[in-house]
Structure 1
Amino acid sequence: MAPKGVLLPVSDPPPPSLRSGDDSAPLFKGSAMTKRGASAALSYMACAVLLVMFNKAALSSYSFPCANVITLLQMTSSTCLLYAMRRWRIISFSNAEPHKAGLVPFQTVLHTLPLSLAYLLYMLATMESVRGVNVPMYTTLRRTTVMFTMIVEYLITRQKYTYPVVGSVALIVLGAFVAGARDLSFDAYGYGMVFIANVTTAIYLATINRVGKSSGLSSFGLMWCNGIVCGPILLVWTYIRGDLVVTLNFPHLHSLGFQVVMMFSCILAFFLNYCIFLNTTLNSALTQTMCGNLKDLFTIGLGWLVFGGLPFDVLNIIGQVLGFVGSGFYAYCKIKGK
């Protein structure tokens, strides 16, 4: 148990005892991104790659039929872990009162309700979208999220971007369509779910930026509100659909391999949610989406080696290169402050 008063770093500046150097300093001279922002972005990318692999293993390799149950387990595990860490004063739910013993007030929970509902839709759509599309094609289609994020940010916050940034986004979307032009495993339902996941992701990230900063809660506090609001709703939904009964009768339920996959899926989901809050708060919703594009190289490579799927023909290679060039150009613009 951590000593009293020692807290994990959240979206607000960490206590002096936890700082190693100046985290708020620019990444390098003239950079618009801080060292802490860069660390949050890299942490998100690492967690995202591994989580997609474990979720795909559960849904495809073990043919687990209930994506909603995986989401429920991830949410329940995160909520229990947050409660224990808050109880032991390892983390804080509030930015203003880090040592307050109580949990989040009911009025604050109501304030974060739009964020919690957006989170629920994001989790369900993202989990279901992994099932019907091979991993390389999934990551290719998910790159179009950046376009939806830009649109949603403009509608909600009237955020506008420079021409170089818009150009990098256009290059990414073009690359996604070129890469998928010859996908021989086309699945209308799977593709539709991926685009729905893109829309819900954009809404979720924009809501973090809008609701999260006005709530007075840390990243962990926002995660807690998501869990206590969405957990009961998802539990009722999985019970009505019969997913809980199907899970209890799943033939690999007591398999050690399946249990290890599920355990790592829950752990990674917790850290991924934290990294999403941290990266979106320290940087921006669009930067968070771009990080998802930059980590695609590793996801595509691992997915192709482990699960197989998309044949890498000439159009696919050209599309992937266009997407990565667009992501790299955006990263350059972000670092240089353009």
Structure 2
Amino acid sequence: MRQLCRGRLLGISVAIAHGVFSGSLNILLKFLLSRYQFSFLTLVQCLTSSTAALSLELLRRLGLIAVPPFGLSLARSFAGVTVLSTLQSSLTLWSLRGLSLPMYVVFKRCLPLVTMLIGVLVLKNGAPSPGVLAAVLITTCGAALAGAGDLTGDPMGYVTGVLAVLVHAAYLVLIQKASADTQHGPLTAQYAIAISATPLLVVLSFASTDAIHVWAFPGWKDPTMVCIFVACVLIGCAMNFTTLHCTYINSAVTTSFVGVVKSIATITVGMVAFSDVAPTSLFIAGVVVNTLGSIIYCVAKFLETRKQSHYEDLETQQPQGEERSQVETSCLLSWRSCRRRRWLAGPKVER
């Protein structure tokens, strides 16, 4: 029981950290795009990946982290995740350029539904619980309601926004699949992804001329802009790790719901700081519905956790010299079946 509570506390802590880093990165990137007209998005992505790769390699060589050395087998294990991670980051940056920050958040709030559907098809773990399903549908309806009041963005921004949601959902599901198919933890996953993606991003940064023209950018004379740029790179590294860690410990759908919870603060900051969209009644109603869906999801996951604890107690505290009742046997068989399908599997923590 104590181990279960410790695991759940770790899962909640990682989810909160992911929400903080993700929301902060969205706001800072929007500052770079809107206030400073910093359009070198490929370079930001390249520096984020290379910083993570160099830092993790240095820590590995110093013996401070226990990850295997990079090789062909490690790269092959995370090849699909690497491709989707790179594509998802690119689409996110481009959709931030074409959409207002609140409207970008509206698109991201459709992520739980897409993640759940792709997860059912790829992970083949059966249908979600009624509570989770209701929370996902309510959240998606809230996103549609909030988005109905704003159709003023760049058409290409809407295209990249839809693609970003699809690729992001596939990325999260593939992370969860990799956590089940490999013995590597989230730190090893980030190490492999960063090293694999960095050479490609370096080539893309030169092909897009970002790495060439960025030196002539006049904003480098502004210390505030430089600080925001450095913060984006560092927070991007932290966000990538918490994305992997949250998905490993919790699930792909839970990670997508973290984005829904942190969207309220992001929307508020976006409306106050950028003034690129007015808070209409439809938009506010959509935010309220989204909040309701998030609350329902938290309650549903809490009930699932309590049920898991009950099943573990039945499994570990068997009455000696007595046969189990039919109800206990049914519960234990159901619990073991869920464990085999990794519905309620414990976290894979990497030292």
TM-score bin (small chain): 0.7 to 0.9
**Aligned mate of 2:92, from 107, 122, 126:** 126
The 2-side partners of 1:324 and 1:61 are apart by 30
The 2-side partners of 1:60 and 1:281 are apart by 34
Cross-structure match for 2:223: 256
1:192-271 equivalent positions in 2, closer than 5 A: 192-271=159-238
Q: Does 1:51 align with 2:25?
A: yes
Deviation string for 1:283-328 (max 9, x for gaps)? Answer: 1000000011011111111222222222112111111101111111
Residues paired across the two proteins, number: 304
**Aligned mate of 1:70, from 41, 44, 56:** 44
The DSSP-based 3-state class of the residue aligned with 1:92 is: coil
Query: Is the 1:74–1:266 Cα contact (8 Å) retained in structure 2?
Result: yes
Deviation string for 1:194-238 (max 9, x for gaps)? Answer: 111101111110111112343322212111111111111111122
Q: Does 1:26 align with 2:5?
A: yes
Q: Does 1:332 align with 2:311?
A: no
Q: Does 1:113 align with 2:79?
A: yes
1:127-166 equivalent positions in 2, closer than 5 A: 127-159=93-125, 160-166=127-133
**Aligned mate of 1:296, from 255, 258, 263:** 263
**After TM superposition, which residue ranges in structure 1, 4 or more long, deviate above 6 angstroms?**
none
Cross-structure match for 1:4: none
The 2-side partners of 1:332 and 1:289 are apart by 16
* Percent of matched pairs sharing the same residue: 23
Larger fraction in helix: 2
Deviation string for 1:43-68 (max 9, x for gaps)? Answer: 11111111111111112211011211
The alpha carbon displacement at 1:163 in A equals 2.2
The alpha carbon displacement at 1:82 in A equals 1.1
Query: Is the 1:247–1:253 Cα contact (8 Å) retained in structure 2?
Result: no
The DSSP-based 3-state class of the residue aligned with 2:236 is: helix
Deviation string for 1:248-278 (max 9, x for gaps)? Answer: 2212134322211111111111111111111
Cross-structure match for 1:275: 242
The 2-side partners of 1:259 and 1:216 are apart by 40
The 2-side partners of 1:84 and 1:308 are apart by 43
Query: Is the 1:171–1:322 Cα contact (8 Å) retained in structure 2?
Result: yes
Deviation string for 1:93-115 (max 9, x for gaps)? Answer: 25xxxxxxxx1332121121111
The 2-side partners of 1:212 and 1:233 are apart by 24
Task: State which structure, 1 or 2, has the greater radius of gyration over its C-alpha atoms.
Answer: 2
Query: Is the 1:112–1:212 Cα contact (8 Å) retained in structure 2?
Result: no
Query: Is the 1:178–1:319 Cα contact (8 Å) retained in structure 2?
Result: yes
> What is the letter of the counterpart of residue 97 of structure 2?
R
The alpha carbon displacement at 1:88 in A equals 2.4
The 2-side partners of 1:53 and 1:90 are apart by 32
Query: Is the 1:45–1:295 Cα contact (8 Å) retained in structure 2?
Result: yes
TM-score, scaled to structure 1: 0.86
The 1-side partners of 2:278 and 2:150 are apart by 8
**Aligned mate of 1:172, from 134, 139, 159:** 139
Alignment RMSD, CA only?
A: 1.8
The DSSP-based 3-state class of the residue aligned with 1:217 is: coil
Cross-structure match for 2:157: 190
The DSSP-based 3-state class of the residue aligned with 1:25 is: helix
For structure 2, the 5+ residue unaligned runs are: 308-351
